Structure 1
Amino acid sequence: MTNAQILLVEDDAALAELIAWHVEREGYGIEQTGDGEEALLRVAESHFDLVLLDWMIEGLSGIEVCRRLRRMPETRGTPIIMLTARGEEEDRIRGLTTGADDYITKPFSPRELVARIAAVLRRTRPAVNSERLQYEGLEMDLAEHRVRRDGQAVPLGPTEYRLLRYFLEHPGRVFSRERLLDSVWGQDSEIELRTVDVHIRRLRKAINLGERPDLIRTVRSAGYALDGEGVA
């Protein structure tokens, strides 16, 4: 699996360190905060593949953080695992209906938590464990470094290839230009934001192969997403 980045929102320092140790041992990157408002700022500034979210945190509650993450275009599809001491059925239902992908009641085994993280990432990052990424007839062979759409070869430059791979690893997710710049070009890149638009146009032209439906959706004031609702 590619190295997933995780945000841990937990105000119990001892528990946070224990979780971080087990998560990092599995090869994941992790950042920590115990504050709900700061968690929202972190996800606005950096890309995370998963959020571990304690329900009972100071200030903004975990359930409200979850609700706001689901309202933001950039994080609408980010998987969330709720961590909480509230084990009643009504609480679990509330957490899940608010938008959590999984719900773990304290106390829990760190090994179980790591297993749950892996399971959620498998569901939300399709095919990252294989050598092929696929979406709506679009196929990327990671071993051969080839791309095809409906069986027809799609020639791509190195940057467009990296951009498409990132989209294929997160289908349906909306990414801002800033997020794409950091994730595809690197945080130290001095490339201007408008360069992202240039490469998006090149990628769109290459994969649409003429009159085929546009698989890249432009979300006004938000960014871009790989999904089937693009404009033909």
Structure 2
Amino acid sequence: MQRQLIIYSSDPDFYMLMSHILATAGYGSSPATDLQGILDLIGNQVLAILLDTSDELEDLIELCHALRRSEPSARQNIIALIRARHEESYFDFVKAGVTECFMRPISPERLLAYLADLSLEAESRSEPSAAAPTKLRLADLSIDEQRRLITGPLASASLSPIEFRLFMGLMSCSGQVVTRQDLVSQVWPGRRHVSQRSVDVHITKLRRCVARTSNLLQIRTIRSSGYALDVLEPGD
């Protein structure tokens, strides 16, 4: 079944180029120029929203916030292709809920490799299982791997793919220090270069989700090293 991408861009030439690159790799694509256009296109087979940045950065960042607030797109992968003159906006897009950012120019091979990883992840979630899905638990949290959902006594929180992989990486070494480089190797497909600052930004978002769902878990920063997911005793 063909995976689809929504290409958000005000540049027709960009859409034509990207749609051709995607088609050669077996992906379908549809154009969108506003929030409602994206929401109208979202369905089960949409793999990601490909966002072409323009000079209207504040509007684009607000668009990302709006997509995260809208139920049809709240858990959708959003990939921002940031133009060279907009490097300073990288972390603004991450904070707005973008799944991954790439600086332009980017080689088609690098983008397609990332999409291939997303496709494998989507297929693994959609494969039927003969047994009922196993519910993972840690302290007072229940973890739904298929939906990337953590549920505790305080609330539930949906995590982005990167945030969920970060959580699972920390959870697998609960109470132990996990270095930033180890997290990069586990979390970012292809193990491409990811700055420590990017890891820190995603951890900050994950820490907020854990804090608003659990009474017994906290993500601790180990200076100049990495992070640890600690299980607290009741009453601590």
Pairs within 5 Å for 1:54-69: 54-56=52-54, 61-69=59-67
Q: Is 1:10 aligned to residue 9 of structure 2?
A: yes
The one of 149, 167, 173 equivalent to 2:132 is: 149
Q: Which residue of 1 aligns with 2:147?
A: 171
> Using a 3 Å threshold, how does the CA distance of structure 1 residues 96 and 46 change in structure 2: closer, same or farther?
closer
Q: Percent identity?
A: 21
Q: Which residue of 1 aligns with 2:21?
A: 22
TM-score when scaled to structure 1?
0.50
The CA deviation at 1:68 is 0.6
Q: CA RMSD in A?
A: 3.3
Report the 3-state secondary structure (helix = DSSP H, G, I; strand = E; otherwise coil) of the residue aligned with 2:124.
coil
- Structure 1 residues not aligned, in runs of 5+: 134-139, 142-146, 152-167, 174-232
Q: Which range moves more in the overlay, 79-88 or 7-16?
A: 79-88
Q: Which residue of 2 aligns with 1:41?
A: 37
Q: Which range moves more in the overlay, 46-55 or 112-121?
A: 112-121
> Using a 3 Å threshold, how does the CA distance of structure 1 residues 82 and 150 change in structure 2: closer, same or farther?
closer
Contact 1:54 1:62 in 2 (8 A): no
Q: Which residue of 2 aligns with 1:127?
A: 124
Q: d(CA) in 2 for partners of 1:77 and 1:24?
A: 24
> Using a 3 Å threshold, how does the CA distance of structure 1 residues 73 and 21 change in structure 2: closer, same or farther?
same
Contact 1:101 1:120 in 2 (8 A): no
> Using a 3 Å threshold, how does the CA distance of structure 1 residues 100 and 121 change in structure 2: closer, same or farther?
farther
TM-score when scaled to structure 2?
0.49
**Amino acid in structure 1 at the alignment position of 2:76:** T
Aligned residues: 139
CA deviations 1:59-108 (Å, max 9, x no partner) are 98322221111011221100000012156664211111111111111122
Contact 1:40 1:65 in 2 (8 A): no
The CA deviation at 1:49 is 2.4
> Using a 3 Å threshold, how does the CA distance of structure 1 residues 103 and 45 change in structure 2: closer, same or farther?
closer
Pairs within 5 Å for 1:71-82: 71-82=69-80
CA deviations 1:206-226 (Å, max 9, x no partner) are xxxxxxxxxxxxxxxxxxxxx
Pairs within 5 Å for 1:79-90: 79-86=77-84, 90=88
Q: d(CA) in 2 for partners of 1:81 and 1:150?
A: 29
Contact 1:40 1:69 in 2 (8 A): no
**Amino acid in structure 1 at the alignment position of 2:37:** L
Q: Which residue of 2 aligns with 1:115?
A: 113
**Amino acid in structure 2 at the alignment position of 1:31:** S
Contact 1:7 1:31 in 2 (8 A): yes
Q: Which residue of 1 aligns with 2:192?
A: none
Q: d(CA) in 2 for partners of 1:27 and 1:148?
A: 32
The CA deviation at 1:148 is 2.4
